[in-house]
Structure 1
């Protein structure tokens, strides 16, 4: 396909991950904004040649936990999977890795 990395921003996969305040404990709402900034910095380098990360609080439960876009267009699960395959990534593994990383970051952030 002849991709040259890193991709320009508009071609990158924007991964929006919404973190529920409750993940940070009973007073999570007091910490969620700071944690999201902390997590964004911590994951910024992960697959950064073709992924742009957005880590944000999930105040609205009607919004999906994870959302994928490229060129400002939402991608459904199948299209996100096809996108990642170009980079030899599997969507399920990609999501699991992010979940694991965020669990570690929550522990670090809370000083556990």
Structure 2
């Protein structure tokens, strides 16, 4: 049992961490008032998305000079090309993973806006 726990902790330490910076405007004109809460809720909803390869984090994108997707592994920032290679080692494609993420994020945004509109 201890060996299994050690293997799992080593494996989780090798997951690709993907930080996605989300612009407040995606939540409507008052998105700036909701973006932090939405990011926290969305992170929880995304915890199982490609969980064998990556871990998702969301943050408000208040500074547009910052890139949308940022990749890191074991605390070290990776270039897009290195992230592609890492994901390919699992016989996966980063662009497919990102497309799945964006589809799920769109669903979450639509759900959040719909709930926000209900008085």
Q: Same fold (TM over 0.5)?
A: yes
Is residue 100 of structure 2 the alignment partner of residue 97 of structure 1?
yes
Distance across 2 between alignment mates of 1:94 and 1:50: 10
User: Structure 1 residue 72: deviation in Å?
Assistant: 1.1
Structure with more of its chain in helix, by fraction:
2
User: Structure 1 residue 7: deviation in Å?
Assistant: 5.0
TM-score by length of 2: 0.83
Structure 1 unmatched runs, 5+: none
Secondary structure in 2 aligned to 1:49?
coil
The answer (yes or no) to whether the contact 2:15–2:55 under 8 Å persists in 1 is: yes
The answer (yes or no) to whether the contact 1:14–1:52 under 8 Å persists in 2 is: yes
Distance across 2 between alignment mates of 1:110 and 1:31: 10
User: Structure 1 residue 50: deviation in Å?
Assistant: 2.7
Counterpart selection for 2:68 from 57, 65, 70: 65
Structure showing greater radius of gyration is 2
Counterpart selection for 2:23 from 16, 20, 23: 20
> Is the alpha carbon distance of 1:7 and 1:43 closer, same or farther for their aligned partners in structure 2, counting shifts above 3 Å?
farther
> Is the alpha carbon distance of 1:44 and 1:100 closer, same or farther for their aligned partners in structure 2, counting shifts above 3 Å?
same
Secondary structure in 1 aligned to 2:95?
helix
- Which ranges of 4 or more aligned residues in structure 1 deviate by more than 6 Å? none
User: Structure 1 residue 51: deviation in Å?
Assistant: 1.3
The answer (yes or no) to whether the contact 2:43–2:56 under 8 Å persists in 1 is: yes
User: Structure 1 residue 62: deviation in Å?
Assistant: 1.2
| Count of residue pairs brought into register by the alignment | 109
